[in-house]
Each structure stands twice: as structure tokens, then as C-alpha cells.
């Protein structure tokens, strides 16, 4: 109850912003009349895009231009001349209170000329209606990965005993963080400084991008992320409202703030997923894969947000999954639609990839005539092949995939459940039992920076950490990671306290304020422990190394003769010849008797750039019941076995996996951003957009294996997105498995009663 969120900030004299948003998905703006709003009590000012055009130096940024010729339409904080999705900002009202600002919206009259909207990816690709006139096309980019041997690829499919072709739709999702976005910009007119408080995952990146967008000296900009109530990738962006509040604060000379409504969060915060995937598998008679190729059509939305174009591409490198695939190729096409922009959402490309390959593996198992567990076992990358170079060009660090699947089967009682399923089928039960497997591998810790450069990513993959031992032996840690529910304060304290032999309560972790932690690459992509934690580990080692030299001087010994354990330096083989870390810290502070050439104080800063991604993996199994008559799906059992390398805090690991599983189940069974043919979001409230609650959750059986990565000193991998990546295909595979006797081979997500009944009826129609 002590956390302070954006809305808890007390800013006397602050003005509030409300945004006039287009009700049309695609329309020209003919005229804007603001007189009614200006006459509203409490309204201070109203601005259109034309009036604010001089307040920014550049459009909102996209940091991932995936190809040299990628199309990137100018995305202004306030639209000028044309609105390109329902929710596009066309004017802003500034008022003395949030309520007055909302009242002022009613007084802004906008004259629109509606245009035909482009609401599907297929329509976008046709270019019948072009959204951005200056681009001349709706195709944002096309990326082709020809594979390591195109001729061999063609031969593999021509000679395949089994050729599986499957097409899947990844529906759009709304992130639904517990706390909607919020912004407060506080200017300092006397010196030109400005502080931006934002519910963001990326204060460091936001500082750089906001400086560029507004044309401000970077040293004049401070960004603070107070307590953040969830993000899931949706706060990994530079949003119009952040730039707007900063521009208006500088223009008006007073604090300016904005808080998002839940309806705005549904349609104006980025959305996730949105892909049409076609995946082809070539396999021999035993079902062993010889080649995989994939084609992705990805929905960018109306504009490119910070990393929008990179998300489908990132996942495209993993459509071969956890399997030994000699030949692999993919094509990836991004298209613009008149819908809310998409961007990273928990898993960011990897859930999409895992869904495609895991659904297709079940189809292959059916074609070969073996179980879904057996088809995976036949194709797993052997444990003795790691590090494993994939046909996509990645190097998997470490893995032993079979034990995870075996343990998941044990937890779920695979054989017992199969027997129960057979009994129900023989009895003619119309409540069908289904089991679904998802074996996944993901890549975490977006790095190294030189690899990101080869993908045209505009930022680095490094992370920064500072460890400082104060004179009283209390410890300060400054990290460039930005926790918003991941437990960094706890884990970082544990890492440092364990090495230094101090109480974790004596370790203070400072973060999320660019004035205190000026260097950082923030939190996303399951990177924090493997990159940020490693930076912290290395900084701690540097401090210990320096302290060892000082302790050796104090004990009149060689540093090589000292050992450090439990917070005490002692001379090997000389009982009683010791000095505590506290004594060394105070001696380093007074600097009365330091070795020659040694600077005072115990402090070290490290910026760590990894040598490779890390590749966590695991297997999940879902058990469902499907009512044939109603189409209702009920999850009755779930097991997951995940391997994220060495674990710093197993309780936090379990919490991350549990939350991720529930989020992935939400996509499988309930969640969908539904748009009509006019581009209107029909699921803009939590009455229409169904997210799982405690009532829908079940007790889950979680376990882990431990396969450390050799690519960082702690042997750790990421875990924050694992549950989301694995759970969605596990649940849908279970639903299809339940309905297989009825001839069902696919169910469109979400597997709502309506979609399940449609699948059953389609199968019945096909059978007749």
C-alpha cells in the first residue's frame, strides 16, 4: 500500500489534458471548431495539430527500421489533415481539472470526411485503398530469409513423406495492464529543465527519444518511472501523450498531466499479436523433420510504434521451435491497417512462433499416426548438440528438452488421462476430454548489440549497474533495469548480499530515475536478469576485487592469499588474521592507509553487453473438457516444466510463470480485440473484452529443470514471458484433441463457445 503511482503524485497548479480522438478509422479532417471548448468552465486552452506543429522537431520514433526501404509514415502526436484509426488524436484540451478537460471535449467540433477503412491484413496487402498517400502502398516491409540452402529446401519438400501445410490466425490482443498509462510533465522555466513522470517500462530510452522528438538537449530532460502497475510490453513505447504533456508544459510553464481511461487503454495503447501465419513442415516417413518454412503477414496498425516492425521478424527466427531442423526459411510482410498500432506484447513474436510450430507438430503427429508426445521426442534437438547452430542463424546456448516433457507428462498423469479420454469416447460422452502439449524454446536478453545492428535495431542490448559500499557497510545498487512487477529489488539485493555477506535488507536498489540511474536499457524481452543481473554481478565482483586489495594491505598479506566469505576477509591458513568487509569499507572511505595507486571508496560501475541471447525452454500440458452441445471449454488441469537456467529466487520464477500461463490461456479461450468492418473497436471495455479472473484460474502443477547457460557467469536465462509463450498452443491443442473424433482439426482463437460450435458444425458439414 506504500507504492506511489502516477495518479498519487501531488503537483500543485498542474493542468490536465484530455485528447479529442477521431471516431472514424479513416477520415480527412476538414475543420476543427474549438470555440465551444474554450467557453467551457475551467478550460485553459485548446490546440490542434497545426497549432502545435512547431512544438516538436520530429515525429514519434520507430527504433527498428527492419529494412533499408521500410515505409514509415510520419506519426505526429496530434494528427494533421487526416485521422488514420479510431482513437487518433486530432486536438487536445487543457484545463484546470481532469473533469473540466473531459467536459471541454464536448465543445470541440470536428468536421470529418470519412474514407473507406482498411481493416484486414488481406485488404491491406491488396492496396485497393492506400492509407498513407505519400507511401503509395500499405506494405510496410518485406523480409525474406532464403535459408541456408534453397535448392535443398525445395528438394526436401518435393521428396517429403509428409508435407504439412497449416494456416493460423493470431488475433489482436489488448494488454490490459492493471494501471492504465499516465503522464505528468513538470517544467523548470528558470533553467529549461523538464521532468517527465510516466508509467513506462523504458525511462532511459524514453529520455533519449523524447529529447530527439522535441529537439531538447538530453541533459535537460529527466524521466522518472514511479511505481508502474504492469506493462506486458504495452509501456515499451514512446507515446503521443508523453510528448504532448512535455510540449504543453514547456509552452505553458506549468506542470501538465494526463491519465488514460480504460476505454482509451483499449483503443489507443498499443495492441499485441495480429498475424496470419502459414507454416509448412517436411518430414520423413517416421515424422522426423527435414525442412520448415514459414510465411507471416503481420498487422502494423496505422503507424509504427517504437519496435512495431521488429516484433514479427523477431519471432520469425523461431518458427522451427525446439526441434532439429536441417533446413529453414521464412518470409515476413508487414502491412498498415486503419487500426490501433501494434507492438510488443508479452512474448513479442515468440508466442506467435511457438503457436505455429506447436500446432503444426500436432498435425504432423496425426499424419504420421503417433502421439503428440512421441513426435516431439523424435525431433527434439539432442542434448549433446548444444551449443546448437540453427538453420535460422541462431546459436542455442544450452538445453535438454526431453526431461522437461517427461516431467510434465508425469505431473499431468499422461497415461491416466489418455485412459480416461478413451473411456469417455467409448461411452459416447458429449463432454470431450482433450490433452495438449506445447514444447517451446524462446530467446531472451535482446543482445549482443552487434547482432541488433545487423537487424537494424537502433538501440543496444547492454545493461548498466553500479555497486557502492557506503562507509557503514550499507550497500547501494544502481541499475538500468526498470522493474514493474518482476521483483528486481528482491533479486538484485539477493545477488549482491550473497556475494558480499551482508543482510539483503542492507542493500538499497535504486532504479527508474534517469537522474539517479543515468545509464540503462530498461526492462523488456526477459532481459533483466541475464543482462542487468549479470552487469550487477560483474560490478559486485569488481568491488570485491578492490576490497580484497585493501584488506590485503590492512592484513599485510598478498591479495592472492586472502579468501572472502560471509563478509570477512581472512588469510588462508592463518586463523584469526582477518578483517570484516565493514572495516575495509570504512578504511576505503577515510583513505588514511590505502595501498599505493588505489582510489578511495568501494564502488564499481559496469556496462555489460552479452555475447549471445539466452534460450530458456520447457514443456506445458493442458487438459480441457469441451461440451459438444454448447461449445464451452473448461480447463481442468495444467502442468508446466520450465528451464530458465539457474534461479535466483524460485518463488519469483514461479510467480512469473503462473502469471504468464494465465495470460496465454486468456488468448486461447477469451481475449480478442474485435473490430467491425468500419474499423470500430467493439471490445473497448472489460464488459466486452474478457480477461481471465481468479474464478477462471485453476491450481497448476509447476516444476523446473535447470540447464545453466554457458554464456553468462551466473548461468541464468529469462523467465518473464515463458508462460505466455507456451500456454496458448497447449490449450488450443487440447481443445482440438478433444474434438478430433468429431473431425475437428482447427479452432479459431479465442476458443469461445461460438468459435468451438462453428468448428464442430464445419466438421459436420465437411463430413456430410
Q: Whole-model pTM? A: 0.97
Domain end residue (candidates: 556, 575, 608): 608
Q: Is 647 helix (H, G, I), strand (E, B) or coil?
A: coil
Asked whether residue 618 falls in the same domain as residue 567, the answer is no
Predicted local distance difference test score (pLDDT) of residue 768 = 45
Predicted local distance difference test score (pLDDT) of residue 146 = 84
Asked whether residue 437 falls in the same domain as residue 468, the answer is no
> Average pLDDT of the chain?
97
Reading the block at residue 483, the C-alpha cell is 522493474
Q: Is position 568 within any domain? A: yes
Q: Is position 451 within any domain? A: no
Asked whether residue 625 falls in the same domain as residue 743, the answer is yes
Q: Is position 423 within any domain? A: yes
301-305, 367-371, 452-456, 699-703: least confident range: 452-456
Whole-number percent of the chain with pLDDT over 90: 97
- Residue 227 DSSP code: S
Asked whether residue 505 falls in the same domain as residue 602, the answer is yes
pLDDT at 481 over 70: yes
d(CA 264, CA 87): 8
Q: Is 403 helix (H, G, I), strand (E, B) or coil?
A: helix
What is the C-alpha radius of gyration for the chain, rounded to an integer number of angstroms?
28
Asked whether residue 622 falls in the same domain as residue 750, the answer is yes
Asked whether residue 642 falls in the same domain as residue 733, the answer is yes
Reading the block at residue 729, the C-alpha cell is 498452443
Domain end residue (candidates: 589, 608, 627): 608
Q: Is position 565 within any domain? A: yes
d(CA 743, CA 763): 5
d(CA 382, CA 616): 15
Whole-number percent of the chain with pLDDT over 70: 100
Asked whether residue 738 falls in the same domain as residue 661, the answer is yes
Asked whether residue 618 falls in the same domain as residue 660, the answer is yes
Q: Is position 547 within any domain? A: yes
Asked whether residue 725 falls in the same domain as residue 763, the answer is yes
Asked whether residue 413 falls in the same domain as residue 502, the answer is no
Q: Which residues does residue 185 pair with via DSSP β-bridges, in sequence order?
A: 196, 256
Predicted local distance difference test score (pLDDT) of residue 294 = 98
| Nearest of 727, 605, 753 to residue 670 by alpha carbon | 753
Domain end residue (candidates: 560, 591, 608): 608
Predicted local distance difference test score (pLDDT) of residue 241 = 99
pLDDT at 149 over 90: no
198-240 residue pLDDT tens: 999 999 999 999 999 999 999 999 999 999 999 999 999 999 9
The total domain count for the chain is: 2
Indicate which CATH number applies to the domain containing 757: 3.30.365.10
Mean pLDDT of 168-174: 99
| Nearest of 291, 288, 293 to residue 277 by alpha carbon | 293
Antiparallel, parallel or unpaired: β 328-336 and 617-627: unpaired
d(CA 290, CA 281): 8
d(CA 543, CA 602): 6
Residue 767 binned pLDDT confidence (cut-offs 50, 70, 90): low
Q: Is position 679 within any domain? A: yes
pLDDT at 1 over 90: no
Are 681 and 21 in contact, with CB atoms under 8 Å apart? no
Predicted local distance difference test score (pLDDT) of residue 447 = 81
Q: Is position 346 within any domain? A: no
Q: How does 14-53 read in b/e, with b if 16+ C-beta sit within 10 Å?
A: bbbbbbbbbbbbbbebeebebeebeebebbbbbbbbebbe
Mean pLDDT of 58-83: 97
The position carrying cell 541488433 is 452
Are 522 and 203 in contact, with CB atoms under 8 Å apart? yes
- The CB-based long-range contact list for 122-128 (8 Å cut-off, 24+ gap) reads 122/276, 122/297, 123/337, 124/299, 124/335, 124/336, 124/337, 125/297, 125/333, 125/335
- Region of 452 (left: φ > 0; alpha: ψ -120 to 50; beta: rest) is alpha
Q: Which residues span the domain enclosing 587?
A: 462-608
377-401 residue pLDDT tens: 999 999 999 999 999 999 999 999 9
Residue 766 binned pLDDT confidence (cut-offs 50, 70, 90): confident
Reading the block at residue 8, the C-alpha cell is 498519487
Mean pLDDT of 751-758: 98
Reading the block at residue 583, the C-alpha cell is 572495516
Asked whether residue 499 falls in the same domain as residue 629, the answer is no
693-736 residue pLDDT tens: 999 999 999 999 999 999 999 999 999 999 999 999 999 999 99
Q: Could you give the strand order of the β-sheet that contains 568-571, starting from the edge strand earlier in sequence?
A: 562-565, 568-571, 578-580
Are 617 and 742 in contact, with CB atoms under 8 Å apart? no
Q: Is position 23 within any domain? A: no
Asked whether residue 426 falls in the same domain as residue 468, the answer is no
Amino acid at each position: 500500500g506504500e507504492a506511489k503511482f502516477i495518479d498519487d503524485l501531488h503537483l500543485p497548479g498542474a493542468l490536465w489534458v484530455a485528447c479529442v480522438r477521431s471516431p472514424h478509422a479513416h477520415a480527412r479532417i476538414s475543420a476543427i471548431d474549438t470555440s465551444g471548448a474554450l467557453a467551457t468552465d475551467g478550460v485553459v486552452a485548446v490546440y490542434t495539430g497545426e497549432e502545435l506543429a512547431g512544438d516538436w522537431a520530429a515525429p514519434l520514433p520507430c527504433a527498428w527500421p527492419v529494412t533499408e526501404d521500410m515505409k514509415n509514415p510520419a506519426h505526429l502526436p496530434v494528427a494533421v489533415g487526416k485521422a488514420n484509426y479510431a482513437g487518433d488524436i486530432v486536438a487536445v484540451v487543457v484545463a484546470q481539472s481532469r473533469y473540466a478537460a473531459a467536459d471541454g471535449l464536448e465543445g470541440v467540433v470536428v468536421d470529418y470526411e470519412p474514407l473507406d477503412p482498411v481493416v484486414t491484413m488481406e485488404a491491406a496487402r491488396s492496396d485497393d485503398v492506400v492509407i498513407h498517400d505519400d507511401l503509395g502502398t500499405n506494405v510496410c516491409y518485406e523480409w525474406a530469409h532464403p535459408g541456408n540452402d534453397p535448392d535443398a529446401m525445395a528438394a526436401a519438400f518435393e521428396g517429403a513423406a509428409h508435407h504439412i501445410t497449416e494456416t493460423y490466425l493470431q488475433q489482436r490482443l489488448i494488454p490490459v495492464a492493471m494501471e492504465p498509462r499516465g503522464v505528468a510533465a513538470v517544467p523548470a522555466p528558470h533553467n529549461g529543465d523538464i521532468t517527465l513522470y510516466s508509467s513506462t517500462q523504458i525511462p532511459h530510452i524514453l529520455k533519449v527519444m523524447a529529447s530527439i522528438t522535441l529537439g531538447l538537449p538530453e541533459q535537460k530532460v529527466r524521466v522518472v518511472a514511479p511505481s508502474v502497475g504492469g506493462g506486458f510490453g504495452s509501456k515499451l513505447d514512446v507515446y503521443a501523450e508523453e510528448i504532448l504533456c512535455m510540449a504543453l508544459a514547456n509552452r505553458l510553464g506549468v506542470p501538465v498531466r494526463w491519465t488514460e481511461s480504460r476505454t482509451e487503454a483499449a483503443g489507443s495503447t498499443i495492441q499485441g499479436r495480429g498475424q496470419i501465419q502459414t507454416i509448412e513442415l517436411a518430414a520423413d516417413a517416421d515424422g522426423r523433420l527435414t525442412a520448415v518454412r514459414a510465411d507471416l503477414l503481420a498487422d502494423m496498425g496505422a503507424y509504427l510504434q517504437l519496435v512495431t516492425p521488429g516484433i514479427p521478424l523477431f519471432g520469425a527466427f523461431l518458427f522451427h521451435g525446439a526441434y532439429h531442423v536441417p533446413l529453414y526459411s521464412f518470409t515476413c510482410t508487414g502491412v498498415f491497417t486503419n487500426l490501433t498500432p501494434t507492438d510488443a506484447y508479452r512474448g513479442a513474436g515468440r508466442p506467435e512462433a511457438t503457436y505455429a510450430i506447436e500446432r503444426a507438430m500436432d498435425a504432423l503427429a496425426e499424419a504420421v499416426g503417433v502421439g503428440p508426445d512421441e513426435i516431439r521426442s523424435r525431433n527434439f534437438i539432442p542434448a549433446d548438440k548444444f551449443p546448437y547452430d540453427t538453420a535460422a542463424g541462431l546459436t542455442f546456448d544450452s538445453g535438454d528438452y526431453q526431461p522437461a516433457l517427461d516431467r510434465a507428462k508425469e505431473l499431468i498423469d499422461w497415461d491416466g488421462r489418455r485412459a480416461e479420454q478413451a473411456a469417455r469416447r467409448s461411452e459416447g460422452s458429449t463432454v470431450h476430454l482433450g490433452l495438449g502439449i506445447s514444447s517451446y524454446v524462446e530467446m531472451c536478453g535482446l543482445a549482443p548489440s552487434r547482432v541488433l545492428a545487423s537487424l537494424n535495431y537502433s538501440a543496444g542490448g547492454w545493461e548498466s549497474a553500479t555497486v557502492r559500499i557506503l562507509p557503514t557497510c550499507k550497500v547501494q545498487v544502481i541499475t538500468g533495469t526498470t522493474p514493474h512487477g518482476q521483483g528486481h529489488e528482491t533479486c538484485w539485493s539477493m545477488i549482491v548480499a550473497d556475494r558480499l555477506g551482508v543482510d539483503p535488507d542492507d542493500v538499497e536498489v535504486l532504479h527508474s530515475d534517469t537522474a539517479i540511474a543515468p545509464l540503462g536499457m530498461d526492462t523488456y524481452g526477459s532481459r533483466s536478469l541475464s543482462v542487468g543481473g549479470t552487469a550487477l554481478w560483474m560490478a559486485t565482483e569488481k568491488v570485491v576485487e578492490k576490497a580484497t586489495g585493501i584488506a590485503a594491505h590492512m592484513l599485510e598479506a598478498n591479495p592472492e592469499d586472502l579468501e572472502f566469505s560471509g563478509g570477512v576477509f581472512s588469510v588462508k591458513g592463518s586463523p584469526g588474521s582477518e578483517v570484516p568487509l565493514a572495516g575495509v569499507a570504512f578504511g576505503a572511505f577515510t583513505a588514511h592507509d590505502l595501498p599505493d595507486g588505489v582510489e578511495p571508496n568501494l564502488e564499481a560501475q559496469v556496462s555489460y553487453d552479452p555475447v549471445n541471447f539466452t534460450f530458456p525452454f520447457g514443456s506445458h500440458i493442458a487438459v480441457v473438457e469441451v461440451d459438444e452441445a454448447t461449445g464451452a471449454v473448461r480447463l481442468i488441469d495444467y502442468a508446466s516444466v520450465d528451464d530458465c537456467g539457474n534461479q535466483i529466487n524460485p518463488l519469483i520464477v514461479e510467480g512469473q510463470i503462473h502469471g504468464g500461463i494465465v495470460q496465454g490461456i486468456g488468448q486461447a479461450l477469451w481475449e480478442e480485440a474485435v473490430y467491425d468492418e468500419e474499423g470500430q473497436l467493439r471490445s473497448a471495455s472489460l464488459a466486452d473484452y474478457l480477461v481471465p479472473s481468479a474464478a477462471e484460474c485453476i491450481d497448476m502443477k509447476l516444476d523446473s529443470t535447470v540447464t545453466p547457460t554457458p554464456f553468462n557467469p551466473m548461468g541464468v536465462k529469462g523467465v518473464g514471458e515463458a508462460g505466455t509463450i507456451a500456454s496458448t498452443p497447449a490449450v488450443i491443442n487440447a481443445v482440438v484433441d478433444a474434438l478430433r473424433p468429431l473431425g475437428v482439426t482447427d479452432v479459431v482463437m479465442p476458443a469461445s463457445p461460438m468459435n468451438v460450435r462453428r468448428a464442430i458444425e464445419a466438421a459436420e458439414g465437411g463430413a456430410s
